[in-house]
Amino acid sequence: MEPGARLPVTRGRALFSGSAMIVFRDHDEEADPGPLLTGLLARAGTLLQGRSGPARDDLVALLIDLGVLEAAIADALFPERDDRSPLADALRRASSCAGRMLHASWRGEPLAEWPRALVTALEQAAALPLPSPVRLKTPEGYAYYALYPEMYLAAAERLARRTGPARAVCIGLRGIGTSLAAVVAATLAAEGWTVESLTLRPRGHPFDRRPAATVRLAAWLPARKDGFFLVVDEGPGLSGSSLCGTAAWLSGLGIPDERIVLFPSRDPDPATLISDEARARWQRHRKEHVPFEAAILPRAPFPAGSRELSGGAWRSLVYATEAAWPATAPMFERRKFLAEGTYGRPVLHKFAGLGRYGRAAHARGQALAEAGFGPEILGYRQGFLAQRWIDGRPLAAGGADGAFLRWAARYFVHRARRFPTGEPARPEALLEMIRTNLAEGLGEPAGLAGLDRHLRGFGEVPAVAIDGRVRPHEWLATGHGYCKVDNTDHHADHLYPGPTDIAWDLAGFGAEFALAPAALADLARAVADRTGDPGLAARLPFYELAYLAARLGQASFDATALGETAEGERMRCLARCYRRQLRASLVRLRAQL
């Protein structure tokens, strides 16, 4: 698999044959849309104050946040069947204005009338009744996978060059397709096209999704069949069913196949798609796709020719032999590039997320670096976090001596104190994952009677933005002590557990380093004493079980995806290790219940 390649994933469970373990968590957020809309209006208003134009990073952040809110409101307005409404139309106009501003910035042109048009559209939306609450969904491509709206802008420009001015209906598939379609529609409008835009939510089984529309909307669409129908989304995923299912639905309304154009984030071999219909339909429609390497890399915030270390390529710089490489899942790694920095000191540029997602990672990275626990942070721009490359020796299981354990205790104390979320940890949210992964991974029922009562005994424990990635190779021994790398964002990704009890990190650390019970008890005591958490040690057996169940699910998923490759074999070996540990952990927790 090429560096930086992404395997499409399905939320909730790993649905490969032979693996029904729960791997991905839901991480939606409930919110009142009123204050969010007011905040967007304030941000849009600053564009009218006559100062110099905003940085493109700020325009991208505004576009993303507006798209997330628009998708959430549309989902609330149309819970069963999509339709048009004054509120949905006003928000669509607002997103399209944000798209026009991004297009102007990309082209080095003035923003012209678009900030005023954006404010007007947002004011119109704010004057209408709003559903409340709504569910905000993280746009995973923007947050994790280096998917840039400018890739779709470039694809729309290419379509305009090839086709010339035309009419189009631009359909964004909610969620991330909401803002991506706004960019496509805005770009084509700037190129002289007549564009109407709306969003749809494909519904149904993950491998057989279709939009559902009211009779009114289903009649509105075919009346425009003389134009192009552009279907815009991040996919295709494992099945390709969102893009291809929407195309099939449009065909069923009488739209000719040659008028349906797909805007995906990648153009895979259709034979790799699970859905039979998607494999056939993928080849029937025109695709417009401009990859990261063509659209973004030439404008990246690091020098041309920087060495890409994505997809596990970083291991060749850290380990003397390939035999020593730890297992990794290339498709889930962040993109990263190594460049020469000041005085010849290398700088690692790692994708940390666009908009609020990257800025939060930047702030956490700075705080950890200033406290002496992470690499020096040199800046954040265009989604990439720049940090000093650390030369060091990665640690290994069984390699935790007393000095390192004392340093690790200080690190966990710092995270617990510095990054509380203000919410309680919810261990009960892990129960379905634990029970499912135990049954699937060990081939036997969990047999955890009394677990609910056990969890109630924990009391209310604060949730923390935990590290979440505590495998031995993430810890480096350097000439100046120790360093924890890749420490900014794993509590905020789409894997378990999310922000939770710091006990997750300690239990995982003990499992990964194969700590003796006495050593783990000493570590927990040191952290508990400094954080005022006397119940920490008692919670470790539960969180050890949860950690190992989650890691077994992830390793099994990755091994299946990687197939009969060297990487797949490394991952199968790691899964076997987690399975052995999980059996032992289950025995220990049963004894405590």
pLDDT at res. 18 = 41
269-300 pLDDT per residue, tens: 888 888 788 888 898 999 999 999 999 999 99
Q: Which residues contact 405 (CB under 8 A, 6 or more apart)?
A: 519, 522, 523
Q: Are 338 and 346 in contact (CB under 8 A)?
A: yes
Tens digit of pLDDT for each residue in 79-90? 999 999 999 999
For 555, the token pair is: 């390793």
| Count of H-run helices and E-run strands, the chain | 20, 17
pLDDT beyond 80 at 543: yes
CA 5 to CA 427: how far, in whole Å?
Answer: 33
Predicted local confidence at residue 344, as pLDDT: 76
Mean pLDDT of 112-122: 95
Q: What is the pTM of this model?
A: 0.93
- What is the pLDDT confidence band of residue 53, given thresholds at 50, 70 and 90? low
Question: What band does 187 get if pLDDT is binned at 50, 70 and 90?
Answer: very high
For residue 187, give the nearest of 119, 126, 251, 101 by alpha carbon: 101
Question: Per residue in 465-522, pLDDT tens?
Answer: 999 999 999 999 999 999 999 999 999 998 999 999 999 999 999 999 999 999 999 9
- Assign 336 a pLDDT band (cuts: 50, 70, 90): very high
The pLDDT of residue 51: 57
The pLDDT mean for the chain works out to 92
Q: What is the pLDDT of residues 72-112, one digit of tens each?
A: 999 999 999 999 999 999 999 999 999 999 999 999 999 98
Q: Is the pLDDT of residue 539 over 90?
A: yes
| Between 252 and 205, residue with greater pLDDT | 252
Q: In what order do the strands lie in the sheet with 167-173?
A: 194-200, 167-173, 228-232, 260-263, 286-287
Measured CA to CA, the distance from residue 463 to residue 195 in angstroms comes to: 46
Task: Answer yes or no: are the C-beta atoms of 275 and 299 closer than 8 Å.
Answer: no
Main-chain phi, psi angles of 237, to 5 degrees: -85, -155
The 10s digit of each residue's pLDDT in 414-456 is 999 999 999 999 999 999 999 999 999 998 777 788 888 899 9
Q: What DSSP state is assigned to residue 433? A: H
The dihedral formed by the CA atoms of 110, 116, 119 and 121, expressed in degrees to the nearest 10: -100
Banded model confidence at residue 19, pLDDT cuts 50, 70, 90: low
Q: Which pLDDT score is estimated for 343?
A: 67
Peptide bond into 256 cis (omega under 30): no
Does residue 412 or residue 50 have the better pLDDT? 412
Residue 375: CB partners within 8 Å, gap ≥ 6? 348, 365, 369, 387, 388, 389, 390, 483, 485
State the angle between helix axes of 86-107 and 114-126 in degrees (0 to 180), rounded to the nearest 10.
160
DSSP letters for 6-63: -----SSS--STT-----B----EEE-HHHHHHHHHHHHHGGGS-SSPPPHHHHHHHH
Are the C-beta atoms of 383 and 146 separated by less than 8 Å? yes
- Say how far apart CA 485 and CA 476 lie, in whole Å: 8
Q: Calculate ∠ Cα 423-424-426, nearest 5°.
A: 125
Instruction: Indicate the DSSP class of residue 353.
Output: -
Share of the chain above pLDDT 90, in %: 81
pLDDT at 585 exceeding the cut of 70 = yes
CA atoms within 13 A on the CB side of 197: 31
Peptide bond into 227 cis (omega under 30): no
State yes or no: pLDDT of 8 exceeds 60. no
Buried b / exposed e across 338-357, counting CB within 10 Å, b at 16+? bbebeeeeebbbbbbbbbeb
Residue 202: the pLDDT is 94
What gap in Å lies between CA 83 and CA 73, rounded to an integer? Answer: 13
Q: Mean pLDDT lowest for which of 16-30, 160-174, 371-385, 503-517?
A: 16-30
- Of 39 and 268, the one with more pLDDT: 39
CA distance 385 to 147: 15
**Close Cβ partners of 545 (under 8 Å, ≥ 6 residues apart):** 434, 582, 585, 586, 589
pLDDT, mean of residues 184-201: 97
Would you give the DSSP letter of residue 108? T
Kindly tell me if the per-residue pLDDT of 369 is higher than 90.
yes
pLDDT of residue 372: 96
With cut-offs at 50, 70 and 90, classify the pLDDT of residue 10: very low
Neighbour tally for 358: CB within 10 Å:
25
Asked whether the predicted pLDDT for residue 190 surpasses 80, the reply is: yes
The pLDDT assigned to 14 comes to 43
185-212: average pLDDT: 93
Place of tokens 């007011």: 38
Task: Check pLDDT > 90 for residue 545.
Answer: yes
